[in-house]
Amino acid sequence: MSIDRSLKVKGALSRHRNVLSRAERIDQLKDEERWAEGDSVFALPKVAHRKSHAGQKAKEAPAKEAAPEVAAGTGPAEAEQKKAEKQDVGRAKMDRK
């Protein structure tokens, strides 16, 4: 039985796969210079196949937030004070309701 074409995923083969085919393993071993022509294709050594991550933007975001405080000439003490004031204003609004 076949799957309806509306249910097929277009990029199904382009995603990360954990298991490599024998040909893909041999190609990777050739790139690492761990396999030579004439070697047996059976009992191949393990090949590390890691999923690559694009980048971690979460670590860059706190650095960007800290930069405006320094640029404005305010120190960490003033920033903490402003943060505390905002929390107090928020609590006051909740008390009125």
Close Cβ partners of 22 (under 8 Å, ≥ 6 residues apart): 41, 44
pTM here is 0.41
- Looking at residues 67-90, what average pLDDT do you find? 69
pLDDT tens-digit series, residues 67-78: 555 555 557 778
Residue 93 has pLDDT above 80, yes or no: no
According to the model, what pLDDT value does residue 97 have? 62
More confidently predicted of 67 and 49: 49
**Domain range list for the chain:** 14-52, 60-96
| Helix 60-72 and helix 76-96, axial crossing angle in degrees, nearest 10 | 100
According to the model, what pLDDT value does residue 82 have? 80
According to the model, what pLDDT value does residue 17 have? 80
Q: SS3 of 19, please? A: coil
More confidently predicted of 87 and 39: 39
